[in-house]
């Protein structure tokens, strides 16, 4: 369960994730995924690895009526999801559980969503097999995973800077988000699990942060990378943070750590049927 544990964040980090990363990144991808998945009124929908629930809530809004469940292994993320304002006319079920053993009966859902979760599952075939099991015979899946890290320049520059200033392997969590960047491998993985009519599209979003400084601060406080500078005293933390920010500014040729940081982010969006 090593990779499951790698994306465990405490409640404070989960709150920061919702406050900063959902508006800047996750909400853009969620809107695109929901547009492509097109959940319909009355359907039964499961959002696997739902995090703080941005995809789940958009699906509920789009459906209007039906069953919508958000499942995540992380209790901190779910606590934030449950704390957010809810529409009483569109109730959402929040469930804690593993994608490797979905706590649902066979044929329980018409649509399964999974935004940027599959790459973290330690047994990806098992997770896809579970998704297939709980899908109804005419059900469908819509998921997204990141392409090569080189196609998201700010992430690539940050990963290099982490290794440079925090030691080899410091960027492992960031780089692990891109382990399914081979398109034929992704298609074969999903096909081998039993899904049919697999369609994969490359999608690019434009991501914006107020500055490179803010971008690094958020990445090192609102994600599992928040532990990378644990044990450092205040002076060393400030010096290391300044070095990482400076490295990012130089690598991206943006001139200053205070101007708006804008960069492309690329992902595969996959649709398939049972």
**Gap between the Cα atoms of 127 and 122, Å rounded:** 9
Distance CA 25, CA 244 (A): 21
* DSSP conformational letter for 46: E
The 3-state DSSP class for residue 225 equals helix
Residue-level pLDDT, tens digit, the chain, 274 residues: 334 434 344 448 889 899 999 999 999 999 999 999 999 999 999 999 999 999 999 999 999 889 999 999 999 999 999 999 888 778 999 999 999 999 999 999 999 999 999 999 999 999 999 999 999 999 999 999 999 999 999 999 999 999 999 998 999 989 999 999 999 999 999 999 999 999 999 999 999 999 999 999 999 888 878 788 888 888 888 899 999 999 999 999 998 999 999 999 999 999 999 9
In order, the DSSP letters of 167-203 are: -TTTTHHHHHTTTT--HHHHHHHHHHTT-EEEEEEEE
Q: Rounded distance, CA 65 to CA 72, Å?
A: 22
Q: Which CATH class is domain 2-149+177-208+262-273?
A: alpha beta
Q: What is the pTM of this model?
A: 0.91
For the record, the structure tokens of 135 come out as 């899908």
């Amino acid at each position: 369960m090593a990779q499951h544990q790698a994306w465990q964040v405490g409640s404070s980090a989960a709150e920061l994730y919702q406050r900063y990363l959902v508006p800047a990144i996750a909400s853009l991808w969620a809107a695109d995924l929901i547009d492509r998945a097109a959940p319909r009124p009355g359907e039964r929908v499961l959002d696997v690895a739902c995090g703080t629930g941005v995809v789940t809530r958009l699906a509920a809004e789009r459906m209007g009526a039906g069953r919508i469940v958000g499942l995540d292994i992380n209790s901190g993320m779910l606590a934030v999801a449950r704390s957010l304002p809810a529409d009483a006319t569109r109730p959402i079920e929040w469930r804690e559980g593993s994608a490797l053993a979905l706590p649902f009966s066979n044929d329980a859902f018409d649509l399964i969503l999974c935004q940027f979760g599959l790459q973290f599952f330690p047994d990806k075939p098992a997770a896809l097999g579970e998704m297939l099991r709980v899908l109804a015979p005419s059900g469908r899946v819509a998921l997204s995973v990141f392409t090569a890290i080189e196609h998201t320049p700010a992430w690539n520059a940050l990963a290099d800077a982490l290794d440079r200033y925090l030691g080899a392997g410091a960027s492992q969590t960031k780089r692990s988000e891109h382990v399914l960047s081979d398109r034929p491998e992704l298609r074969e993985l999903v096909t081998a699990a039993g899904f049919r009519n697999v369609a994969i599209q490359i999608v690019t979003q434009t991501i914006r942060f107020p500055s490179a400084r803010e971008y690094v601060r958020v990445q090192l406080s609102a994600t599992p990378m928040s532990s990378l500078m644990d044990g450092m005293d205040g002076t060393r933390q400030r010096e290391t943070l300044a070095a990482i920010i400076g490295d990012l500014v130089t690598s991206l040729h943006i001139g200053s750590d205070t101007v708006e940081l804008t960069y492309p982010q690329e992902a595969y969006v996959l649709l398939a049927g049972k």
